Amino acid sequence: MIRVRAKKKLHTSDGPMELDVCFESGVGEFVTLFGKSGAGKTTILRMMAGLSEPEEGYIEVSKEVWFDSRKKINWPVQKRSIGFVFQEHNLFPNMTVEENLHFALQDKKDAGMIEALLEAVHLTEFQRRRPAQLSSGQKQRVALIRALLRKPKVLLLDEPFVSQDLELRLKLQEEMLDIYKRHNASVIFVSHDFSEIFKLSDRILVLDKGRIQKSGRPDEIFAAQTISGKFKFPGVIVDMRQEDFLYIVTVQIGNNLTKVVAAENEVRGLSTGDHVLVAAKAFNPIILKAFPKENQKT
């Protein structure tokens, strides 16, 4: 069980903002903090990790109180059982892959984990290389498994896939989800990528202007609840063209481009770059905006 209550004044590009959040998460739950950049997502992770200090608040993980402003408790980063994956891989350039992983071990008896994890992410033959000799996807994979070697109570992932291209991102996500579920790790995940969190999260906290505006299962948060689609895919509009009386909307769903025919009233308010859901009712696919404007990725 994780309990977080935190207040902190932030200086964002839009001026000062007060971050004021409160949430809980269960063991093994995959919780996503979703919101625009500057909404305070990364700060929440950093406060949980002890890299940043709330002005007021309370952080508890598995019955250990890591931070309590009233009782003046503030555990140092090192003492908090976390695995942190940053946007940039942050591997140590002076160490090989294997050395990076060994360095992360809390208990040298766990060294056996290294081999298994390297195999799980298909990097066994790269273990003697230095980070500079790896592709960006390989580096991020090493970082993702390095975070597990301490056997942390909670994994904090700060947009770990953001610098990867789409194809790689999808593959990495699947691998990671699989590994993290197997290790029964609680995950707090930060992202502003709509399709990514739809797939990964058990629960989503929508963060805006420093507050949690909504919380719930992915389909509760994003889907327009009114439709009972046979299928629903989240995607992004890449192109819209008018042909005679109809519109052809090209939507990128994962790796695929899908063309959806839509009437003029359906495309009203849609534009290229919008996040949408492509859903099928009884017969033809319909297309509609995924979630209200204020949550759109800009």
Binding site for another protein (CB under 8 A): 49, 51, 76-79, 82-84, 86, 88, 90, 92-94, 103-104, 106, 146-147, 150
Closer CB to another protein, 77 or 257, in the complex: 77
CB of residue 157 vs another protein: minimum separation in angstroms? Answer: 12
Place of tokens 């994994």: 155
CB of residue 216 vs another protein: minimum separation in angstroms? Answer: 29
Closer CB to another protein, 52 or 258, in the complex: 52
* Dihedral, CA of residue 209, residue 213, residue 215 and residue 218, to nearest 10: -70
Angstrom distance (rounded) from CA 144 to CA 155: 10
Could you tell me if 254 and 195 are in contact, meaning their C-beta atoms sit under 8 angstroms apart?
yes
CB of residue 149 vs another protein: minimum separation in angstroms? Answer: 8
Residue 85 class from Cβ within 10 Å (0-12 exposed, 13-18 middle, 19+ buried)?
buried
Angstrom distance (rounded) from CA 181 to CA 283: 36
Closer CB to another protein, 103 or 231, in the complex: 103
Closer CB to another protein, 18 or 53, in the complex: 53
Closer CB to another protein, 37 or 272, in the complex: 37
Closer CB to another protein, 75 or 175, in the complex: 75
CB of residue 177 vs another protein: minimum separation in angstroms? Answer: 21
CB of residue 147 vs another protein: minimum separation in angstroms? Answer: 8
Reported in sequence order, the residue ranges of the chain that DSSP labels E, i.e. its strands, are: 2-12, 15-25, 30-34, 56-61, 64-68, 73-74, 82-85, 154-158, 186-191, 203-208, 211-216, 231-243, 246-253, 256-262, 275-280, 285-289
CB of residue 95 vs another protein: minimum separation in angstroms? Answer: 8
Query: What pairs with residue 96 in β-bridges?
Result: none
Could you tell me if 260 and 251 are in contact, meaning their C-beta atoms sit under 8 angstroms apart?
yes
Closer CB to another protein, 22 or 77, in the complex: 77
